[in-house]
Amino acid sequence: MSNLHCYYTDEHTVIAESLEDAEANWDEWTNTGRDDYDDDDAWEDAHFIAQIPDEKVFAVFVEDELKNQPEGVVIDGAVWKATSKAWAESQGRGYLCSAEY
């Protein structure tokens, strides 16, 4: 069993080994730059990162076939639902998805 977990803000989800790992790599993985934010409050909000509980099921819009399907995934067209832990284990460390369209 891996030690990877999903971490999120209002806009992005990444997979990391710990909150510290997610925080350390957030800007690179999410392509976040300080120049994208007008003020310090918005910058701080973009860096409020929390772990998604491993057992929480959430959906990801998948445009292309994923190399590794999450265990127990439920597929409804382009919407794939799986637990946070299944997403983390199947996709590996790094960027997972965005809430942006």
Q: If 0-12 CB within 10 Å is exposed, 13-18 middle and 19+ buried, where does residue 7 land? A: buried
Q: Cα-flanking dihedrals φ and ψ of residue 85, to 5°?
A: -65, -40
If one counts the domains in the chain, the total is 1
Gap between the Cα atoms of 35 and 55, Å rounded: 36
86-90: average pLDDT: 97
56-73: average pLDDT: 90
Q: What is the mean pLDDT of the chain?
A: 92
Domain of 63, in residue numbers:
5-98
pTM, 2 dp: 0.89
Q: How confident is the model at residue 92 (pLDDT cuts 50, 70, 90)?
A: very high
14-42: average pLDDT: 92
CB 66 within 8 A of CB 78: no
Comparing 4 with 1, the larger pLDDT belongs to: 4
